[in-house]
Amino acid sequence: MGQLHVMSLNLCCWGYDDNTVDKRLERVKTLIDKYKPCMLGVQEATPKWMEYLSSNLEGYAHVGEGREGGGKGEHTAIFYRTDRLNLIETDTFWLSETPRVVSKSWGSRCLRVLTWAKLRLVETGKEFVHVNTHIDFGELAPIMQTRMVLDNINSFDIPVICTGDFNFTEDYEGYKLLTSGKMGDSKYLTSDSTNIATFHGYGKIDVSQEKPIDFCFVSKDDFIVNCYKVLDEKINGELYSDHHAVYVELDFKG
């Protein structure tokens, strides 16, 4: 069992038939309760999702601002277990040319934000940063936003974990950029790994034939990856989102 258990989950801000948000609230809670991650990076966390999770996840606190400012719009929030971690510092900014104000650039279809949290492990005092984000579609926006993510990662001189829905696969320029330096894809840093996609569109896509678009990157010199899983299970026979969560168990090196 690693010191840090990390989950990344696009909650999906919509749904239909048996997969509406209202019907999936408890399914998501059940999944989180089962794995009890130390940190959970969420995407598409609307105010309804945020209200439910903050009220129903026992032992967790969270950080992150909505993409429309304050508590409005989708959050890329970070939930963390208060028995395991202390918050040192946090920030949210926009993935745009004017990151300190509500804004979008480079033809981005949606407002996109990045949230980071500097955390300290209670048992050992080890400090690290968790970065969580959601990248847009398009031609220019994804690569420019990814560069901003990488700049943020490189601004820290302590271990970094980066989770998110990047909306691109391993063969895209942004992925190559993110893994060309100190960061590595946790999927390839362990022998205990899962090789299926994360987005399934409520069961419409064969994940065995596709590649992930949700990732957990870690600073390679700082972490041992004990396992990487794509949580393709159902909760009581039902889907919990249109994405499978990514779950990683880590140890600090040294």
User: What are the tens digits of pLDDT across the range 5-37?
Assistant: 999 999 999 999 999 999 999 999 999 999 999
pLDDT of residue 2: 66
Q: Phi and psi for 137 in degrees, rounded to 5?
A: -90, -175
pLDDT of residue 6: 98
DSSP E strand boundaries for 95-238: 113-121, 127-134, 160-165, 183-185, 214-219, 223-231
Q: Model confidence over 92-116: pLDDT tens digits?
A: 999 999 999 999 999 999 999 999 9
Burial class of 188 by CB neighbour count within 10 A (0 to 12, 13 to 18, 19+):
exposed
pLDDT surpasses 90 at 1: no
HSE at residue 43, side-chain half, CA atoms within 13 A, is 30
Cα(194)–Cα(8) distance, integer angstroms: 15
- pLDDT band at 254; cut points 50, 70, 90: confident
Identify whether the C-beta of residue 172 lies closer than 8 Å to the C-beta of residue 112: no
- pLDDT band at 182; cut points 50, 70, 90: very high
pLDDT surpasses 60 at 60: yes
pLDDT of residue 184: 98
Q: Report the pLDDT averaged over residues 234-250.
A: 98
Prediction pTM value: 0.98
Q: Report the pLDDT averaged over residues 152-174.
A: 98
CA-to-CA separations, 185 to 172, 179, 216, in angstroms, rounded: 14, 7, 6
Q: Which helix (H) or strand (E) holds 62?
A: strand 60-63
Identify whether the C-beta of residue 54 lies closer than 8 Å to the C-beta of residue 45: no
Burial class of 224 by CB neighbour count within 10 A (0 to 12, 13 to 18, 19+):
middle
